[in-house]
Amino acid sequence: MLLDSASPASPQPSVYMPPLQPTFVVSCCPHPFEQRRIDYAVPQGLTIAEIVELIQPDPLLRAHGVAFLGEQLIERAHWHRVRPRPGKYLSIRLLPAGGGGWRIAAMVGIAIIAVVTTALTYGALAPVWGTTAAAIAGGLAGAAVTLGGTLLVNTFLPPPVPELSKDKGTESQTYQILGARNRIDIWGKVPFLCGRFRLTPPYAALPYREVVGSNTYWRAIFAVSHGPVHVESMRIGETPIGNYAEVEWQMRRGYWTMPDKSGWDPAAGVFPASPSFGDTWTATSSATVNGLAIVAGQTLTFNRLADPSSAAAWDLDQGKPFSLYPLDVYEDPLSVALTYAAGGQVRTTPPGADEIAIEIAFERLVHIQNQPAGKKSDQSVTFKIEQSPAGENHWSTVLVRTVTGRQQTPLYWGHRWRPAEYGIVDANQTFDVRITRLSGDTDEERNFSKCFWTALRTITAGDPVPVPGITLIAVRIRATGQLQGTIDEFNVTARTIARDWDASTNSWIWRPTSSPAALFRHILQHPSRRKPATDAQIDLERLAYWDGVTRPARREFNGVFDAKTSLYDALARIARLGRAMVSLRDLKFSVVIDEPRSVPVRMFTPRNSWNYEGEMTHEPVPDGYRIGFVNEQASWKTEEVVVYDDGYSATNATLIGRVEIVGLTSRDQAWKEGRYHLAQQRLRREIHRINCDFEQLACERGDLVALQHDVIATGLTSARIAAVNEDASGNITDVTLDAPVTMQTNKSYGLRVRRVAAGMMRTDLYPLRTIAGYSPRLWFSNPPALIDAPATGDLCAFGELGRETLRVLVRDIEPGENLSAKLTLIAEAPGVHVAEQGPISPYDPVVTPPPSVPAPVVLDIRSDERVMLVTPSRTLIERMVFQLQPIAIEGATIHVLYRVSGTHGAWQDATVQEETATGVVIAGPQSGETYDFRLQYTHPNYLASPATQVNSHYVTGRRSPPADLQNLTLAVVGGGALLRWDLAADLDVQFGGWISFRHSPDMDATLWPNSTSLARAVTGDQTHVWLPLKPGTYFARVYDADGRPSEGVASVSTKQASLLAFSPVGAVEEDPLFAGVKTKCTVVDGGLMLDAEDFDAVPDVDALSNWDDTGGVASSGLYQFAAGIDAGSVRRLRLTSRLKLDAVNQFAFWDAKIGAIDDWPDVDGTLGASVDASVWGRLTDDDPAVSPSWGTLMRIDSAEIDARAIGQLECRMRSDDRLFNLWITQLRVAADEVL
């Protein structure tokens, strides 16, 4: 069953030609400079060349292009012979001439950016498009850009956090801050109002003061905005301007054009019929129409703010200068005393005096003092004002006026008149003005009336701001008794009048609006731009559709831009509040709308794309947004609304982002925008990039496409349909893919197929029957009819139902070579569009995880000398071996991490030196340390296994004692003892270690300390040694390369030495009396022992580490035999020493022991005793009783010699631990002659 099918988000235009015969549909971009797709119905049987000629008659425009039948590129040379069959998908795209069109596209984007980022305000806007040859060439390059739909400088979707504006709705604080003052900004820029806002406009010209009679008035003119605008209210501070007395105002709405509709007679009593916005008539008579008084010569302009029959729908004198504010006011500051004695005072105006004004000041007092006594009375002064053309002395009386006062404060009086209304008019409008005091002078003691002529103003009529399209307001207001100082807190609430889309009439009409679509067009076409965009340069169809999206959602833009704002920034900010992005589409200014979409129009998998790249943001999502805005419902005060993420409130939110979005004036809209951006932060985290071939030609920015890729584990696989199977009823029961897929029980699966239906490309989803196993054959849950089913060769994506592909939006299209392109894709995230209606949906990356590898099972761990690695240089490297239980998955890789137990340090990677199915060998951990380990399997086709942790394993390495020597044997060969054994098991014995030998005369001796050393030791890699043959027990002990002995001792006993054929010659027995000379030794209980040392025996007290810790056993001693052996003559003799020794622990106190108790061989025995004794002597061939010549000192164990005597015998004793002594109970040397 078909679940869904592709359809564009917004309707695509279709052009149908009168059919000559049965037709089929062709999808074509008929113009090389347009990106829009159009579906044509063309007659069947035509060749591709005939179809192209039918669609694009201009041979120049159809000179270059590509055509595809399905996915097959048809070479242009074959267009005249290929006739598409009905049902085939034919797509045609005409391209700009020249093979470098795509390369040009990569460079021309910079030029387009330069065009759209010029300044927005008057006089600073560069033209968007031109009509010169250079402009046409630029248009050609621009077309190459728009074919790919490349981005300019904006991102495709609004950023997660909108751009900041400290002014909350405007670009300058002056325009909106309540209590702000009107500023004088010479050569400054005019504000650009978009939507409805309250603003404090700058002065359009300097305000000035005038005195009329005894009252002071202020005249000012304000530049409200680029027009036209509808001024809803005017205030001074917070007081409506209508509450002031003697206030006048005039407004020029800022029409772009005012078509002259010639004369109109108001005497008819009705306004002109069927007017259009800006239409202007000139009144031919004076009359009152519907309450509007009209004077002949006045102009009447239709503003469309009301029905044409209403007076509110018409503006007067919009194209004429202000009468309340002239072109120029020249003030000549004076200080001329006006006295009766001096007579008239004359001053001359500059040329152009349309009006003249004078001011007289009584700067001290105007009254009569003490008349009657103690009180003041009135004082009057009469003046006469006259004018004459400059230098002609033809005087005309303008005014005779008596000024009366009774005050002790200064009094000001003035008068203003039109010189053309009095006497002779000068051609240059230059006049002499004379003021004469007609009243007598006063004494200024009791009668006060001294006055001065303080100002002569020359006023020239005209328009002070001759710039079209600017909304201006001129104000004249009495300051006396109403204002403190100048008028500098004037503000207005106004709304932009723009061409707004009217869905009821399906047309654009002029009216006040805050619609983003209308304002977008308004800025582009405003006459303040150096060259406004034409209708042909704006995608009006897309803007009309956009208005239909924003108006029901009540998304508005209400703000003010100033000179700092570029054109692109202004468009982007307006578009952002309409959930859209600025774009150039078919060389037209357009938008890409962020709105819900239905079904993907294309599908991309590894089968038709390459070079996948992905990015993901991991920035924390804020708990909420604090959004600043100007609230129109709260008298335009600056407010904030806190928008919380789901699950957060004021009680638990800690991460609050502060943003201020330009154009917001509604709390409700601010809250919705906050929810929208929170949803984007949560749901749009990923960016995907793929390269594809000519299929990108069918994509536009903003299109919804389906993406399946193994890298992001979306879907399970992609394939092609290799075969379809049809049942008897004409339904397709199953399909066979060109690659097998895996199904598991208890899961539902689907197949999304990109196919051609009725000549159109679409992507359809088909539910599948779950048949567990591994097979390329898939069965449909509801077999579709043949017309609705996939076909052989169709591209498909297989996966769990509803998760076969990821729904993504095309954000960027970057053209490449040979019609290829790189697509930048982002998540569709439909949840962002409903975040304002309820909880935000959880983030779903649409990942289908593959099965995971089982966790490693550790059976055994070895880390001692037996598993060390020997390098070619015979260096030992410590290693560890983990014995693992085999797993059934081939190709898995083991990873091992480690760190010191009991710490929180970072886990480190162990170096894997060898890996098998049953174990892994690693290097890295140091011996003598305790570690925690983590082992984990990975596999390219499976999820990583859970980690297996092994805690607190002590790495033995070279710190454990070596193993005991094994299989020690003795053989008597030629009078010597041949000892043999197995090769030592420990590598650090074989390499760098050794084996030591000792002997005891007892046949049943078992203790190493109760024996004496033999002179010979061999390296650890040996397996035999020749030793002197002596009866008793031989001991062998293993030492590793660091000198650690084995815990056990190997021993072997022999009696063969006593059975040899020797004849006794002599013997020396020192025991039990030990009568010889003793050095550091003494006789105790019939045995020879080392002396005990005390403090006086310490040779160097400075070397003591602890003075309280003296005493113990002497480290060495010497016993000299009392006699030797004389054989009487030189003979071949065999000398054998017999030395029986026991180790003795004389100081078995724990406090006297050092080192860790775990390192003691035993607690209170002698296993750890290191004592030894050996017999030494000298040989001579002389008579030992008569000054013999003795040989060198030699050790006597068992040896055959040729000599007469042996003498100077001595026993050397040694103890390596002061706690242990030795006790020698037998000390003998025997000499036997060999028979």
Q: Residues 199, 313: one domain?
A: yes
User: How distant, in Å, are the alpha carbons of 211, 405, 546 from that of 409?
Assistant: 16, 10, 66
Q: What is the CATH number of the domain that holds 453?
A: 2.60.120
Q: Name the residue type at position 609.
A: S
Q: Look at 869 and 982; give whichever has higher pLDDT.
A: 982
Cis peptide, bond prior to residue 228, ω within 30 of zero = yes
Q: Residues 1074, 1055: one domain?
A: no
Phi and psi for 655 in degrees, rounded to 5? -105, 100
Q: Residues 1077, 1176: one domain?
A: yes
**pLDDT at residue 620 above 60?**
yes
Q: Residues 715, 654: one domain?
A: no
pLDDT in tens, 537-574: 999 999 999 999 999 999 999 999 876 778 888 999 99
Alpha helices in 997-1043 (DSSP H): none
Burial 262-298, CB ≥16 within 10 A → b, else e? eebebeeeebbeebebbbbbebeeebebeebebeeee
How many Cα neighbours within 13 Å face the side chain of 565?
A: 28
195 and 496 in contact (C-beta within 8 Å)? yes
Q: Which residues contact 430 (CB under 8 A, 6 or more apart)?
A: 348, 349, 350, 351, 353, 389, 390
Local confidence band at 797 (pLDDT 50, 70, 90 cut-offs): very high
Q: Residues 473, 454: one domain?
A: no
pLDDT in tens, 476-510: 998 888 887 788 889 999 999 999 999 999 999 99
Q: Which residues contact 643 (CB under 8 A, 6 or more apart)?
A: 624, 625, 627, 670, 671, 674, 675, 678
- Angle, helices 516-525 vs 567-577, to 10°: value is 170
The 10 Å Cβ neighbour count of residue 1178 is 20
**pLDDT at residue 1116 above 60?**
yes
Distance of CA 260 to the CA centre of its chain: 57
Q: Does 369 map to a domain?
A: yes
Last residue of a domain, one of 954, 984, 1016: 954
What does the angle CA 823 – CA 828 – CA 831 come to, to the nearest 5 degrees?
Answer: 165
Determine how β-strand 355-362 pairs with β-strand 452-460: antiparallel
Local confidence band at 96 (pLDDT 50, 70, 90 cut-offs): low
**Listed range (8-22, 594-608, 962-976, 1034-1048) with the worst mean pLDDT:** 8-22
Q: What percent of the chain has pLDDT over 70?
A: 84
Q: Is 1064 exposed, middle or buried (0-12, 13-18, 19+ CB in 10 A)?
A: exposed
Local confidence band at 154 (pLDDT 50, 70, 90 cut-offs): very low
Q: Does 550 map to a domain?
A: no
Q: What is the CATH number of the domain that holds 799?
A: 2.40.30
Q: Does 513 map to a domain?
A: no
pLDDT in tens, 333-369: 888 999 988 899 999 999 988 899 999 988 765 655 5
Q: Which residues contact 159 (CB under 8 A, 6 or more apart)?
A: none
Local confidence band at 1096 (pLDDT 50, 70, 90 cut-offs): low
Q: Residues 1100, 1171: one domain?
A: yes
Q: Which residues contact 268 (CB under 8 A, 6 or more apart)?
A: none
Q: Does 726 map to a domain?
A: yes
What pLDDT score does 554 carry?
Answer: 94
358 and 453 in contact (C-beta within 8 Å)? yes
Q: Which residues contact 482 (CB under 8 A, 6 or more apart)?
A: 244, 245
User: How distant, in Å, are the alpha carbons of 597, 724, 726, 779 from that of 731?
Assistant: 30, 10, 5, 12
Domain that holds residue 752: 689-827
Tokens 């004494």 locate to: 443
How far is 227 from 204, CA to CA, in rounded Å? 14
Q: In 939-1023, at which residue ranges do the beta strands (DSSP E only) sit?
A: 948-954, 969-973, 976-980, 994-1000, 1012-1019
Q: Look at 434 and 20; give whichever has higher pLDDT.
A: 434
Q: In 18-150, at which residue ranges do the beta strands (DSSP E only) sit?
A: 23-29, 38-43, 65-69, 72-74, 90-94
Tokens 């006790």 locate to: 1223
Q: Look at 261 and 1098; give whichever has higher pLDDT.
A: 261
pLDDT in tens, 834-857: 998 999 888 888 888 776 788 999
Q: Residues 693, 678: one domain?
A: no
What pLDDT score does 742 carry?
Answer: 84
How far is 1186 from 1207, CA to CA, in rounded Å? 13
**pLDDT at residue 74 above 90?**
no
Which pair of structure tokens corresponds to residue 166? 């400290």
636 and 178 in contact (C-beta within 8 Å)? yes
Local confidence band at 1148 (pLDDT 50, 70, 90 cut-offs): low
Local confidence band at 3 (pLDDT 50, 70, 90 cut-offs): very low
Q: Residues 359, 429: one domain?
A: yes
What pLDDT score does 1163 carry?
Answer: 52
Phi and psi for 983 in degrees, rounded to 5? -60, 135
Tokens 């059919």 locate to: 19
Q: Is 1187 exposed, middle or buried (0-12, 13-18, 19+ CB in 10 A)?
A: exposed
Nearest-CA neighbor of 1144 among 1072, 1213, 1223? 1223
**Listed range (67-76, 159-168, 585-594, 1116-1125) with the worst mean pLDDT:** 159-168
Last residue of a domain, one of 657, 683, 709: 683
113 and 121 in contact (C-beta within 8 Å)? no
What pLDDT score does 1154 carry?
Answer: 53
Local confidence band at 447 (pLDDT 50, 70, 90 cut-offs): confident
Q: Name the residue type at position 593.
A: I
Number of domains in the chain: 8
Burial 47-84, CB ≥16 within 10 A → b, else e? ebbebbeebbeeeebbebbbbbbbbeebeeeebeebeb
How far is 743 from 851, CA to CA, in rounded Å? 12
What pLDDT score does 209 carry?
Answer: 83
Stretch 889-900: mean pLDDT: 89
Q: Look at 985 and 937; give whichever has higher pLDDT.
A: 937
975 and 1060 in contact (C-beta within 8 Å)? yes
Q: Does 72 map to a domain?
A: yes
Phi and psi for 1024 in degrees, rounded to 5? -155, 165
What pLDDT score does 791 carry?
Answer: 93
Local confidence band at 921 (pLDDT 50, 70, 90 cut-offs): very high
Which pair of structure tokens corresponds to residue 178? 């309540």
- Collapsing DSSP to helix, strand or coil, 524 comes out as helix
Counting other chains too, the contacts that 438-446 makes at CB distance below 8 Å and 24 or more residues apart are 438/340, 438/382, 438/383, 438/384, 438/400, 439/340, 439/380, 439/381, 439/382, 439/402, 440/340, 441/339, 441/340, 441/341, 442/379, 444/364, 445/369, 446/368, 446/369, 446/370, 446/371
Local confidence band at 1098 (pLDDT 50, 70, 90 cut-offs): low
**pLDDT at residue 973 above 80?**
no
Last residue of a domain, one of 787, 808, 827: 827
**pLDDT at residue 300 above 90?**
yes
Distance of CA 699 to the CA centre of its chain: 27
Q: Name the residue type at position 248.
A: E
Name the β-bridge partners of 475.
220, 249
Phi and psi for 1144 in degrees, rounded to 5? -130, 135
789 and 56 in contact (C-beta within 8 Å)? no
Q: Residues 281, 304: one domain?
A: yes
How far is 351 from 332, CA to CA, in rounded Å? 13
How far is 1183 from 1203, CA to CA, in rounded Å? 11
Q: What is the CATH number of the domain that holds 1046?
A: 2.60.40.10
Stretch 733-756: mean pLDDT: 91
723 and 737 in contact (C-beta within 8 Å)? no
pLDDT in tens, 45-66: 788 888 888 777 777 777 777 7
**pLDDT at residue 195 above 80?**
yes
Q: Does 836 map to a domain?
A: no
Q: Look at 683 and 112; give whichever has higher pLDDT.
A: 683
The 10 Å Cβ neighbour count of residue 835 is 24
Name the β-bridge partners of 1212.
1118, 1174
How far is 1075 from 1138, CA to CA, in rounded Å? 17
**pLDDT at residue 175 above 80?**
no
Q: Residues 306, 340: one domain?
A: no
How far is 201 from 494, CA to CA, in rounded Å? 11
963 and 1005 in contact (C-beta within 8 Å)? no
Q: Residues 625, 757: one domain?
A: no
Q: What is the CATH number of the domain that holds 900?
A: 2.60.40
- Angle, helices 133-148 vs 101-116, to 10°: value is 110
The number of helices, as runs of H, and strands, as runs of E, in the chain is 8, 78
Q: Does 235 map to a domain?
A: yes
User: How distant, in Å, are the alpha carbons of 2, 9, 68, 145 from that of 761?
Assistant: 15, 15, 12, 24
Cis peptide, bond prior to residue 1072, ω within 30 of zero = yes
User: What is the strand order of the sheet 717-726 is part of?
Assistant: 760-768, 749-757, 795-800, 717-726, 732-743, 773-779
pLDDT in tens, 384-405: 999 999 989 999 999 999 888 8
pLDDT in tens, 1153-1195: 555 655 555 555 566 678 899 999 999 999 888 889 998 999 8
Which pair of structure tokens corresponds to residue 1112? 């113990």
Q: Look at 324 and 1103; give whichever has higher pLDDT.
A: 324
Q: What percent of the chain has pLDDT over 90?
A: 35
Local confidence band at 155 (pLDDT 50, 70, 90 cut-offs): very low
Local confidence band at 681 (pLDDT 50, 70, 90 cut-offs): confident
Q: Residues 701, 783: one domain?
A: yes
**pLDDT at residue 157 above 50?**
no
Stretch 825-834: mean pLDDT: 90
Nearest-CA neighbor of 160 among 515, 675, 799, 854? 675
User: How distant, in Å, are the alpha carbons of 144, 555, 679, 778, 1129 from that of 665?
Assistant: 40, 11, 22, 57, 131
pLDDT, averaged across the chain: 81
**pLDDT at residue 1100 above 80?**
no
Q: Does 553 map to a domain?
A: no
**pLDDT at residue 661 above 90?**
no
